[in-house]
Structure 1
Amino acid sequence: MFSKKLGLTIEGSMFKNIGIFLIIANTYVWLICTSIVLGQIIQTTNLLDSQLYIVWTTNFLGAAASIILGSYFTSKFHNYRKHFIITWIFLGIIGSLTPSFVATTFSFSEILIISILFNISFGLGLPVAMAEFSNNTNIEHRAKLGGAIWLLVMMLSGIIMNLIGENIMVNSFILTLWRATSLIAAFHYKPNIKKAYVSFTGVIKDRSFVFYLTPWTMFSLVNYLSTSVGINFLGEDFVNILTLVSSFLTGVSAVFGGLISDIIGRRRTTIIGFVLLGFGYSLLGIYPQNATAWYLYAVFDGIAWGIFYVIFLFTIWGELACDKSSEKYYALGSLPHLLSTYLRLTIGPLIAANVSFYAIFSFAAFFLFLAVVPLMFAPETLPEKVIRERELRSYIEKAKRVRERFAKN
């Protein structure tokens, strides 16, 4: 009964479902914390700009390649999914331990190796984990469950980040212990039903997939600019405060975004996210040096990111796959987010230093409003029957309240 309320598809075996949810939460928390530790490692070494560029490029390419490779292997060899996930987690444990074997100073080659290990350890099993999330949830509850998982990720990230100090060896052990906890869920996890195989070409030829991927990619191409511009004009401390505000709202809005998405549909919820972010960038385009405008932007940004995480990380790709295996959908759908992070670390500061901030934010706002256009042609993946039933239920409840009010009078 409880499983049905939550939207879990396997009756009487709740732990199977919760197992994959915990693995996903553990993975994203681990990614956030390893990014912090990698930044600490880089700060211990005076890398040249060219070397730093190589590190971030290798970082991005390693993650992208491992995601693609992992999605190919797990969709091709379904029977080895459990072994693959356990091996993936063990690889993360080894990657987490690696910094502790190095002396207090890191060479360029050592940083490169650690960076590659971190990102391969993240990307290799991500598509199968997200595909199993899709397989283990009912479509009418999928978004709210994704939102709940992301809220858990934000809360746990805050706890683990408070444990991370300046000692890289201690941080390495913290990451190792954290990643190792997901083995408990992995050993009890059982793969869901096998679905029809689909090639990368088949995914790319899917028009519905393109209609959702295009705005997600357009957003990723402009979103990285705000942080760099904010640091240039308002200082890093102020931007850190904005990030804290935005992160808090992201976790909360992920839950509400998931609930709304399960009521009015994925497409309309996604459009709301893009419109909110477009308003935020419009404010910065008019008042780029105004602190209040930046706070309002942080609010819009946090709400929009909560919606986007639920839709573009958890929900839409599995639903577009329908009766086909969804690993490749999730793999290709995750690449724009990786690209945005890469651009923020590499060319974002250069653009912010050389291009007018009025031009940057005005262009970003226009680009985001333009990103809504493909969504007008995108199909709604939440069944029309579910939307209409919930609208009817809401109407009946309102009618009952009105009748009770008149009865009292």
Structure 2
Amino acid sequence: MARIGRRWRHLLTLPVCVYFFVLFLQFSSWPVTNLSADGDCGTKCVKKAEEMSLEDPPVTAAAPGTLDSPLVYRHILPPPKFEDVKFARKFSLPIPVSDHKEFFGLPAGLPPHYRISEKMNATEINMQALVSLVKIATTITFRCNKILKQGGRTCQRVPDGDKKFCADESVAPPTRPCIVYSFGVGNDFSFDKAMGGYGCDVFAFDDDKYHDIYERNPFPRVHFAHIRLGKNLLVDTEINKIENSTFEFLYRPLDNIMFILHHQESNVDFLKLDVEGSEWEIFGESIFKTDILERTRQLAIEVHMEKFCEKDVPPADLNGAISKYLRFYEGLQARGFQLAHHEPTYMNDKGVVTVGGITFAPLAEQLWVNTRVREGRRPTYRRPIDYYVNRLED
């Protein structure tokens, strides 16, 4: 027995040596910042770059809208490469975090990215508005001590479809049942199912030819209607020439939906939107013209600043898009909303963009919490809830 024990002990030394050798290679392969001779100023430049932020953008008085020097965007930690993560998990090593390849440039290990045309001069862009936009869209202003992950699924080992929910006593629904509006379900009801299990009445909305298979109540406390959120009441027809078929979409604005559901004076405890880039017009031309947000406790939205992802964008169009995005965020803040969670969306091939020396993610999941919510009336139903949900499709 003693000989067998010593024999196994010698065999175990091999994986231990391999483990420490891999660990040594992992530490020795970390990228090192290498500055060119033109801008090499040692560790002082590195410390100065790390201290730069979007809080105090250095805008010159002589040329308004331009920056003294490029800004290094460090709000978002770039994700590690999938191969490195797979290697680390195989040998039980710490998950690596990518660092910047260059002093001023894109983070390493990110998906493919798009750039604004190289011919565009930074002085043609309203840099002051751009800096304000990136700051307000990424800076956390509300500290939530208990953020719950509701729903979601895993696609290629990357979570997708989940929404964050702040369960702090000060902003969570005071009583149950609560009301949840979920626009843009797609084919993933995991979030709606989770909020129904939390004790909320969930009203989910989406529509295309693939949604006909879903019932009115796919899960307990979840009510599904075949309509889309729009800025006004509209019936749109899609013609498929290949299949020789047509499909009609019914769009309703949020205030019209709430009126039919008898929620016109009630609180919306959680409003979730994933409408693939239509959020800017829906808010600007519909929701902001009502008092719904004043009665909304939390807003989970996936923002799509897709104008930054287009190539060869004229400066006038880009400045118009910056103003449109900025009006949306300023409208939320004016109604008492504060950013509680910001998570860039890297699954899309758009990745990140660099505009005027600022690198940021144009697509992101965000959670906004209303700190000045106005208490509304509890809804009263004379008939079952599904009776009112059926009226939405008429």
- Do both share a fold (TM > 0.5)? no
Going by fraction, where is strand more abundant, 1 or 2? 2
Larger CA Rg, structure 1 vs 2: 2
**Aligning the two structures, in what range does the TM-score lie when normalised by the shorter sequence?**
under 0.3
Which protein is richer in helix relative to its size? 1
